[in-house]
Structure 1
Amino acid sequence: MQLATRLEAGETLFTAWSGVPDALTVEIVAAQAFDAVTLDMQHGGHHEDSVVRSILPVMHAKKHPVVRIPVGRFDMASRALDFGAEAVIAPMVNSVADARQFAAAMKYPPVGERSWGPTYAFPRQKGSNFNAWLADMNARTVSFAMIETRAALDALDGILDTPGIDGIFVGPADFSIAWSNGSTVDGTLEDMMETIASIARRARDAGKHAAIYVVDPNMVGRFVSMGYRLMALGGEPRYIALGAETLLKAARGSMG
């Protein structure tokens, strides 16, 4: 089942977050009990070569491949889709103009301006007919515009109304910096939670998906109640640290 279909059905899904640009590491991450794996090109180390190579082990693990592109690299959105990504997250979409550029790269005409050439995606996703692929692909690819600044918040309704934008993805760390006028970075900042909730509500009212990066997993239930349905959790350093902590605690505990 496609990521788009599961989101439309209202499932709550969890994506791993990968910043290590190595397909073998991604293979290990994809084997864990996440629904999707996001390859981060913005703050993570992923690049075009690692993305094209890392999407395949994600697909082999029957997980949904997602890519976060660098700021302003809307051309990379099309490339990520051509590599086989099901969804793309675009950071710092701060205006309707940004949203239109992102949507244009994500969708084939007449919705957008995505160029034809699914060199890797077509065989990887078991395509058999180009015309059927073309007819389905705009609905199957999910575009998430990141909302993480006051400018983006001000432009939210216009971003949500942009044809080809399927959802928003809140970056709470950057949002907290904007919210506090640069005085703190805290993705769990309590006095911005009402606004975080309103972003999800406005997205859902517009018929769009709401996703968020979760700093503290104990907040997932709260975010779900707000309307968020795709949650990003952790990253390789955190997965390794938690695993090592668990193993060492058990080992040391066994010695009394």
Structure 2
Amino acid sequence: MKSNPVKKALQAGQPQIGTWLSLESVFATRFMARVGFPWLTVDIEHSPVNWETAAHMFAAIAEAGCVPLARVPRGDHDHIKRVLDAGAMGIVVPMVNTVEEAKAAIAAAKYPPVGNRSVGGAIHSLNFDAAAGDYYKYANDEILVVLQTESPEGVENAPEIYALPGVDAIFVGPNDLKFQMRNYTENGDDPTPEAFEAMLQRILQAGKTAGTPVGLHVVTVEDAKRRADEGWQFIAMASELKMMVNEATRVVKALDLKAAGDLARY
């Protein structure tokens, strides 16, 4: 059975920089899987990707020698089971705020006796180049479990969450974390850059203390390199959508054409 090289690299302390796939396109996925990123995450939380298309995207990524991951809509057993049975080699679980939520997500990704993932499906083993029997035997060791810290509550519970057996990495969604921090600021404003950075550094330190890799989403190459130098490991570089829009915007500006609107938010 094929091993999960991203999981092994993270365990060895090596940064792994990938990107997000938010376009519901197998065509685009086939090309992105050959660019050179070690992993690609199919975003099923904030995109219109359906289950069948996701399965084809996982297959396209794996067949190119890249590691397919899936960000599920939430940490429910049925969502986690479906993406893993569809061939994802790991999960990214959003909004994990408590130890109980973390334990439930981990259990859903692991077969008994470690967890409570149900046995079934027909294509999950294909992306590991394995027979079904070998997949059931080794999947618990190879599936990558990434939990997201996206709120002050999640940060408060970070020491306990990050120390749980079965947590392979932590991932910060900066936008959600910043928005959730509005609940603790005067007039519901964004936190100051200094307060936000302090929160990020608190997460990084919690990961180092627990011995669990942590990562975050960035939008520039410079930020990716800087964060890796700080010790962040599981780093997402923008998305295929943002890369496409950024390059198209650069071309429009170079040609001195009138842009239709501000697409920086993508």
- Is the 2:18–2:40 Cα contact (8 Å) retained in structure 1? yes
| 1:31 paired to 2:34 | yes
1:52-201 matches, within 5 Å, as 52-128=55-131, 130=133, 132-181=134-183, 182-184=188-190, 189-201=193-205
- Is the 1:18–1:235 Cα contact (8 Å) retained in structure 2? yes
| 1:219 paired to 2:220 | no
- Is the 1:112–1:164 Cα contact (8 Å) retained in structure 2? no
* Aligned residues between the structures: 249
**Residues 74, 214 of structure 1: alpha-carbon distance in 2 compared, 3 angstrom cutoff:** farther
**Residues 18, 193 of structure 1: alpha-carbon distance in 2 compared, 3 angstrom cutoff:** same
How far does residue 118 in structure 1 lie from its aligned partner after superposition?
4.6
**Counterpart AA for 1:162:** L
CA distance in 2, matches of 1:91, 1:185: 21
- Is the 1:84–1:122 Cα contact (8 Å) retained in structure 2? yes
Deviations 1:70-106 (A, max 9, x none): 0243321122122221210110111111111101111
**Counterpart AA for 2:234:** L
Deviations 1:4-33 (A, max 9, x none): 112112222221211112211222222323
CA distance in 2, matches of 1:108, 1:185: 41
Question: Which ranges of structure 1 fall in alignment gaps of 5 or more residues?
Answer: none
Question: Which ranges of structure 2 fall in alignment gaps of 5 or more residues?
Answer: 257-266
CA distance in 2, matches of 1:172, 1:248: 29
Aligned-CA RMSD value: 2.3
**Counterpart AA for 1:21:** E
| 1:41 paired to 2:44 | yes
- Aligned to 2:159, the other structure's residue is in SS state helix
Q: Give the aligned partner of residue 50 of structure 1.
A: 53
- Is the 1:174–1:185 Cα contact (8 Å) retained in structure 2? no
- Aligned to 1:243, the other structure's residue is in SS state helix
**Residues 79, 105 of structure 1: alpha-carbon distance in 2 compared, 3 angstrom cutoff:** same
How far does residue 58 in structure 1 lie from its aligned partner after superposition?
0.7
How far does residue 108 in structure 1 lie from its aligned partner after superposition?
1.3
- Aligned to 2:125, the other structure's residue is in SS state helix
Runs of 4+ that moved beyond 4 A: 245-252
**Residues 94, 244 of structure 1: alpha-carbon distance in 2 compared, 3 angstrom cutoff:** same
CA distance in 2, matches of 1:18, 1:41: 9
Deviations 1:143-179 (A, max 9, x none): 1111011111111122123332222111111111122
How far does residue 233 in structure 1 lie from its aligned partner after superposition?
1.5
- Aligned to 1:66, the other structure's residue is in SS state strand
- Is the 1:26–1:54 Cα contact (8 Å) retained in structure 2? yes
TM-score (norm 1): 0.87
